[in-house]
Amino acid sequence: MEAEPAPLPKAVVLISGNGSNLQAIIDASSSGELPLDICAVISNVPDVKGLERAADAEIKTHVIEHKKYPQRELFDVQLIRQINEYQPDIVILAGFMRILSKDFVNQYLGKLVNIHPSLLPLYPGLNTHKRALENQDAEHGVTVHYVVPELDAGPNIIQAKVDVSATETQESLAKKVQEQEHIIY
């Protein structure tokens, strides 16, 4: 008698936009390359392409608009309620453009991962490509890391590097980095 295969880890993915990283995760999950059951995709912005990508893959979608909540903590309470309906093993931030409260992060500590477009600890926060170019860095990249209450300060899981040419622009560098994002995330 054959043993039942172990259930796949359950994931909820949080997005705010186009969902190109979400699509890479969906594709890797569908092919079996990434053993993951994506239970739901939640966006804080309505009518974004990422929700369409999830729906096309027959993944449940939800919208919780942060603008409808006067305080960050109230938004986070609603987000936690929605996520917890799925009892995920992992919560993936894939272009989720909200800084989460300390209480939210602590709720999922050790299960919350993010992708950041720099080689952390370099350039936490925004405008990473601009800062790398201003500093004339020879290389730049992307980091997948665990989320902790301090912004972009959690332990790194994996990084991918790209070379920065002398003629690089923010747009060309962003494109190079995004290509690596889709490989490692």
User: Active-site positions?
Assistant: 116
**DSSP track, 133-152:** HHTT-SEEEEEEEE--SSTT
Q: What share of the chain is helix, strand, coil (3-state, %, to 5)?
A: 35, 25, 45
Nearest Cα residue to 162 out of 126, 124, 117: 117
Q: Give the containing element (helix H, strand E) for 124.
A: none
Question: What is the rounded (10 degree) CA torsion for 32, 94, 65, 101?
Answer: 120
- Angstrom distances, CA of residue 57 to CA of 11, 26, 40, 61: 14, 8, 11, 11
